Amino acid sequence: MGLSVDGLTKDYPTRSGVLSVLRAVTLEVSRGEAVAIMGPSGSGKSTFLQILGTLERPTAGTVMLDGLDPFAVDDESLARFRNRHIGFVFQDHHLLPQFNVLENVLLPTLVARAATTDANAFARMLLDRVGLTHRLDHRPAELSGGERQRVALARALILKPPLLLADEPTGNLDRDNAATVSELLLELHREQNTILIAVTHSPELATKFSKRFEMNDGSLVALS
């Protein structure tokens, strides 16, 4: 079981014709593997991640996660699939400012109607793993950038999704916080046996991943 991408294409209509952002991208990733994708701005990295995260539908090609095709269902079912099967860590953490740390981590369980005592205990365990047990009642504005990103990492893992997507997860962090978050990202990925795919401009982060690719002009090329 894992992630299978075959012939993935994404086109956008423009006044001057069709703009091809992704060109027949193919990728196979098994559970427990970590993939880093590098490449210049505008090469299609973020679009690729958005399609893997089911935030956009492809023009052509297929995405299969653990044998399931998320794009074969209606939008309501797709939203449920995304909530249950995919965890996101963005460059901008997207925490809700009115909720405290624990509540932000538990938000996906409310959407999934899985807010139970066990979920609460698991959230507390994840926050302990990322070193934020002393911050449970704090709101995002009271946290540092590195702390906010660690909350986002715990939130991404709360429903134990098979696929974890990270878009520039250390892009807004200083060197020390970037190192801490990247190590936690990879440690928790291994512990949860997820598929981890990260888009990054950081060669330092990319070298920590077992598989590395470059996106160039909409095509994905393996790096040695």
**SS3 call for 142:** helix
The average pLDDT across 66-89 equals 93
Contact 71, 54 (CB under 8 A): yes
The tens digit of pLDDT for each residue in 4-33 reads: 999 999 999 999 899 999 999 999 999 999
Q: Is the pTM of this model over 0.85?
A: yes
Question: What residue type is 146 in one-letter code?
Answer: G
* CATH number for position 95: 3.40.50.300
The tens digit of pLDDT for each residue in 148-166 reads: 999 999 999 999 999 999 9
Adjacency order of strands within the sheet including 60-65: 17-30, 2-14, 60-65
Contact 127, 101 (CB under 8 A): yes
pLDDT above 70 as % of the chain: 98
Q: In terms of residue numbers, what domain contains 183?
A: 2-222
How many other C-beta atoms are found inside a 10 Å radius of the C-beta of residue 176?
A: 9
pLDDT exceeds cutoff 90 at 189: yes
- The answer for residues whose C-beta is within 8 angstroms of residue 186's C-beta and 6 or more apart is 34, 196, 208, 209
How many domains, the chain? 1
- What are the φ/ψ torsions at residue 98 (nearest 5 degrees)? -85, -10
Residue 96, CA distances (Å) to 77, 85, 103, 105, 179 in order: 24, 21, 9, 10, 25
